[in-house]
């Protein structure tokens, strides 16, 4: 009898622990002897070597530092396979916040592309973060014009397109397909993260890689530094190619990577970019989302010192290119700041 009781109590204890873990809520004691809820949120990023992870770590560090003790709000950043996995993690409540590509968010919300006929609605926007800048890198031996169509010269070669299901893979295939490439047939595709891609390029296991991220990207810096600026090229896009790509999913715009961004880079690179944005589960409290946004925009200097890509995070640009509606807590924050929120970004 006693053993049965112990087993039941143990089962109840484990169940209670799982429930608390699933909701990311625990109780902490206050100085006056009362207790308050402590919320530990998870922010999904992408693989190390790109921009999602270091920016996610910066945001999580800032939130925990500013809101941990007084408000009981902390945040931790985790790696993932990128936007594709992050959409699923939000849906299954395995993460609370996530950084997503504008393209991936648009496809998921509308039920287009990869999500054809199966829209994903378990996400809300918080803020635009920075532009995801396309870096299509190719060994210079294959470069004739300097623009993206030089990839045609590498047909049949090994090319790193990004991890399976990631935003990197999806954006790369979307861009190249819009320009007439049959990506799966024309290349021997490798599915790797950013750092692994740079290493594979250095070892000549691939002749090119697709790295969409906010410059400076550590994987690109690594490639230039170890291989040499004269041996690899970041391919450019013409205005006509940009128009062709944007006609299917209008999320891209012109972006110029200024000279000296990377080791030995002696001239500007004319590429394209799409917005990255911070997403959140719709069931999180309005108050917490408001406080986290207020913390981000009240401490931009901290973020700017952590990664140059965060220089693009500006209150007046916060709603630019958002492909999904805002969380109600974010709507209140922007209205309180005097920013007009378009009706298209408000959930009815």
**Pair 162, 126 in one domain:** no
CB 192 within 8 A of CB 186: no
**Pair 143, 229 in one domain:** yes
Give the chain's domain count: 2
Which of 257, 275, 293 terminates a domain? The answer is: 275
**Pair 75, 170 in one domain:** no
**Pair 260, 288 in one domain:** no
Q: What pLDDT score was predicted for residue 25?
A: 56
Estimate to the nearest angstrom the gap between the alpha carbon of 298 and the chain centroid: 22
**Pair 148, 263 in one domain:** yes
**Pair 148, 257 in one domain:** yes
Q: What pLDDT score was predicted for residue 295?
A: 98
323: CATH:
3.40.190.10
Structural domain boundaries, residue 249: 132-275
Q: What pLDDT score was predicted for residue 2?
A: 40
Which of 275, 304, 337 terminates a domain? The answer is: 275
**Pair 167, 226 in one domain:** yes
Prediction pTM value: 0.75
CB 81 within 8 A of CB 46: yes
Tens of pLDDT, residues 24-67: 655 555 555 555 689 999 999 998 888 899 999 999 999 999 99
Q: Please state, in angstroms and rounded to a whole number, the distance separating the CA atoms of residues 229 and 264.
A: 6
Helix orientation angle between 167-178 and 239-246, rounded to the nearest 10 degrees: 110
Q: Please state, in angstroms and rounded to a whole number, the distance separating the CA atoms of residues 317 and 325.
A: 16
**Cα angle: 255, vertex 243, 169; to 5 degrees:** 70
Tell me whether strands 232-234 and 208-213 are parallel, antiparallel or unpaired: unpaired
**Pair 186, 271 in one domain:** yes
Which of 253, 275, 297 terminates a domain? The answer is: 275
Sign of CA dihedral 252, 253, 254, 257: negative
**Pair 289, 254 in one domain:** no
**Pair 97, 174 in one domain:** no
**Pair 106, 221 in one domain:** no
**Pair 227, 314 in one domain:** no
Could you state, in chain order, the average pLDDT of each consecutive group of 10 residues for the chain (348 residues)?
41 37 50 70 92 95 96 97 93 97 92 92 96 95 98 97 89 95 97 95 98 91 95 98 89 92 95 96 98 98 91 92 95 98 92
């Amino acid at each position: 009898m006693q053993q049965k009781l112990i087993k039941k109590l143990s089962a109840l204890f484990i169940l209670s622990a799982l429930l608390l873990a699933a909701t990311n809520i625990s109780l902490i004691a206050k100085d006056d002897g009362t207790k308050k809820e402590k919320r530990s949120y998870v922010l999904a990023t992408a693989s190390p070597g790109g921009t999602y992870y270091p920016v996610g770590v910066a945001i999580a560090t800032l939130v925990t530092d500013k809101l941990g003790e007084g408000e009981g709000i902390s945040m931790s950043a985790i790696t993932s396979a990128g936007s594709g996995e992050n959409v699923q993690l939000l849906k299954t409540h395995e993460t609370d916040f996530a950084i997503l590509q504008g393209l991936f968010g648009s496809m998921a919300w509308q039920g287009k592309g990869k999500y054809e006929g199966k829209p994903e609605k378990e996400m809300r926007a918080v803020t635009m973060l920075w532009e995801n800048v396309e870096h299509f890198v190719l060994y210079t031996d294959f470069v004739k014009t300097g623009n993206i169509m030089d990839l045609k010269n590498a047909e049949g070669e090994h090319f790193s397109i990004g991890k399976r299901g990631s935003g990197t893979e999806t954006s790369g295939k979307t861009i190249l397909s819009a320009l007439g490439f049959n990506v799966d047939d024309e290349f021997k595709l490798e599915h790797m993260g950013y750092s692994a891609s740079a290493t594979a390029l250095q070892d000549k296991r691939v002749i090119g890689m697709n790295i969409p991220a906010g410059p400076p990207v550590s994987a690109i810096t690594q490639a230039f530094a170890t291989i040499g600026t004269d041996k690899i090229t970041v391919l450019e896009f013409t205005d006509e190619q940009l128009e062709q790509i944007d006609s299917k999913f209008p999320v891209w715009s012109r972006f110029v990577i200024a000279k000296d961004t990377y080791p030995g880079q002696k001239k500007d690179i004319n590429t394209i970019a799409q917005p990255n944005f911070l997403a959140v589960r719709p069931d999180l409290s309005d108050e917490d989302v408001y406080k986290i946004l207020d913390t981000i925009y009240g401490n931009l200097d901290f973020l700017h010192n952590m990664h140059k890509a965060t220089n693009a995070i500006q209150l007046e640009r916060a709603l630019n290119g958002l492909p999904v509606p805002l969380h109600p807590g974010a709507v209140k924050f922007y209205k309180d700041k005097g920013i007009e929120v378009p009706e298209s970004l408000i959930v009815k």
